[in-house]
Amino acid sequence: MRNILKIGAGALAALGLTVSVAQSAETVLWWDFLGGGDGVRMKQLISDFNAAHDGEITIDATTLEWGVPFYTKVQTSAAVGEAPDVMTYHASRIPLAVSQGILQEITTDDWSAMGMGQGDFAEATWDAVTIDSKQYAVPLDTHPIVLYYNKDVLSAAGLLNDDGTPKGMDSREGFTATLQALKDSGSIKFPLGSVTGDGNFMFRTIYSLMGQQDGELMTDGEFLTGDNGDKLENALGVLAEWTNAGLQSTYTDYPATVALFTSGEAAMMINGVWEVPTMTDQHAAGNLFEWGAVELPVIFDHPSTYADSHSFAIPANAGKEMTAEKRAAVLEVMSWVDKNSLFWATAGHIPAYAPVTNSAEYKAMEPNATYSPLTANMIFDPKSVFAGVAGPMFDVMSTYFVPTLNGEMDPADAVADIKDELNDM
């Protein structure tokens, strides 16, 4: 009898427990486009989140194909009310998304509920998620491009400063001299591994070089007005010059560029910070030389680097109102991941949430700490519905960058054509 009572009480308790769990547990549907090395790290963060919110919030995550497929799916699913509760979004794609009405505003109440605000983010990053003084996403990181270099090769050629950074980073002449010295050393195939076969990618480098001259792609809805065309021509000119002098690899696509650098055939490489885990892992396995990563060289007037930001956005599901509980859960997801983004930094990205980058742990991370000061010099895409990764502006640029960077086309002709074609859109 006692046993039966015990079992009965146990069953009742178990029932009570499951009921209370079912009442408080929110499942947050999550979509992201993080398929690479950073995707592995995000999965880790998600499972940490789920463990920390056991019985309260569960993230149900799906990873989709990066680029046009992802953004098309978001758009179509939001139109029929089948979008997730939260998703990763490129800040550069926000203007288009807002014009399509597929993102919900992150209100002042939301920010205070998350315990975050404008002061926690770099100015350029905050601005990148802001349209008409309303925010549409919570920045998770910024992912600029940096200069990777082979310390062994540079050191053998006497091209390293005492602090281990490359020489000649402060001027066009200086950097070209460094490249030339590397070529003359004869120890490598290319001084600079450059993604010259992929104009989409080169947009990042070229836009950075334009930013170093305060050039703007778009002013008042017009493309390349005033002397901005000349500034683009200057940027293309310096890269074309390196090609003509045999200082960088030609017609090289993205994977080949990484391979040239990691195999030691190219002494330096301009690439995104997302390749940091590749280098760290290979180095840890003993397959890589000593390496470093620094902010891009100052070729023109002042430092400037193109960046984009992975951020979190809440889709505006047509005809499907989000409950207050669900929204609170989504806000908790976004703020928790942001506040725990120190681990995300191991993917190379610079966390957007300043308290993380200001922490002592972050400052001890290398090479992240070396290049993270560049956040002061970041520029983002122009705010246009044509802008953004895998957007139409990328395609126009790409079409002219590839021939120009490989010596097939004159930079001046390229600029004239780019101008016409951008204004055609």
Partner 1 sequence: MLRNSRSEILVALVLIAPFCAVYGLVFVYPTIKMLLLSVTDAPLIGPGEFVGLDNYTRLPGERRFNTALWNTTYFVILSVVPGTIVALLIALGVNRLSGRLQALVLALFFLPYILPVSVVYRLWDWTLNFQFGVAMHVLDWFSIPRIPVFKTTTWFMPAVAFVTIWWTAGFSILLFLAGLRAIPVEIYEAAALDNAGRWNTFRKITWPLLWPVTALVLTIQLILQLKIFDQVYLFSFGGRPNDTMVLVQYVYTRAFVSNQGGRAAAVAVTLFFIVIIVSVLQFQLLRLAGNSGKGDDK
User: Which residues contact residue 112 at a Cβ distance below 8 angstroms, ignoring those fewer than 6 apart?
Assistant: none
Q: Is 253 in the site for partner 1 (CB under 8 A)?
A: yes
Q: 293 forms bridges with which residues in the sheet?
A: 148
Determine if 425 is a binding residue for partner 1 (CB under 8 A): yes
Question: Which residues make Cβ contacts (< 8 Å) with residue 42, sequence separation at least 6?
Answer: 32, 34, 344, 347
Alpha helices in 89-143 (DSSP H): 94-100, 108-114, 123-128
Enclosing H/E stretch for 402: helix 392-405
Percent composition of the chain: helix, strand, coil (DSSP 3-state, to 5):
50, 15, 35
**Distance in angstroms (rounded) separating the CA atoms of residues 357 and 138:** 16
Give the Å distances, CA to CA, from 301 to 172, 190, 236: 10, 26, 16
Among 32, 38, 85, 198, interactor with partner 1 by CB under 8 A = 198
DSSP of 143-189: EEEEEEEEHHHHHHTT-B-TTSPBS-TTSHHHHHHHHHHHHHH-SSS
- Residue closest to 120 by CA, chosen among 294, 361, 334: 334
Q: How far is the CB of 150 from partner 1 (least distance, A)?
A: 17
Residues within window 34-93 making contact with partner 1, judged by CB under 8 A: 68, 72, 75-76, 79
Closer of 72 and 287 to partner 1 (Cβ): 72
Residue 391 beta carbon to partner 1: minimum distance, rounded to whole angstroms? 7
* Min dist. Cβ of residue 401 to partner 1 (A): 9
Give 300: exposed, middle or buried? Use CB within 10 Å, 0-12, 13-18, 19+: buried
Least distance (Å) from partner 1 to the CB of residue 212? Answer: 24
Is residue 421 involved in binding partner 1 (CB under 8 A)? yes
Site string for partner 1, 257-296 (x = CB under 8 A): --xx------------------------------------
| Minimum gap (Å) between residue 295 Cβ and partner 1 | 25
Which span (4-12, 117-125, 342-350, 385-393) binds partner 1, by CB under 8 A? Answer: 385-393
Q: Does residue 385 belong to the site contacting partner 1 (CB under 8 A)?
A: yes
Q: Which of 111, 254, 289, 343 binds partner 1 (CB under 8 A)?
A: 254
CA 184 to CA 172: how far, in whole Å? 18
Q: Where are the alpha helices (DSSP H) in 264-379?
A: 276-284, 324-339, 354-357, 360-363, 368-371
At closest approach, how far in Å is the CB of 415 from partner 1? 15
Query: What are the Cα distances from residue 70, in Å, to 67, 247, 317?
Result: 6, 37, 16
Q: Which stretch binds partner 1 (CB under 8 A): 28-36, 151-159, 196-204, 323-331?
A: 196-204
Nearer to partner 1, 177 or 318 (CB): 318
210 to 249: interface string for partner 1, x by CB under 8 A? ---------------------------------------x
- In the chain, the amino acid numbered 92 is S
Q: Which is nearer to partner 1, 109 or 253 (CB)?
A: 253
CB atoms within 10 A of CB 417: 15
Q: Is residue 399 at the binding interface for partner 1, with CB under 8 A as the rule?
A: yes
199 forms part of the interface with partner 1 (CB under 8 A):
yes
Residues at the interface with partner 1 (CB under 8 A): 68, 72, 75-76, 79, 96, 100, 197-201, 249-254, 256, 259-260, 385-386, 390-392, 395-396, 398-399, 402-403, 406, 408, 421, 424-425
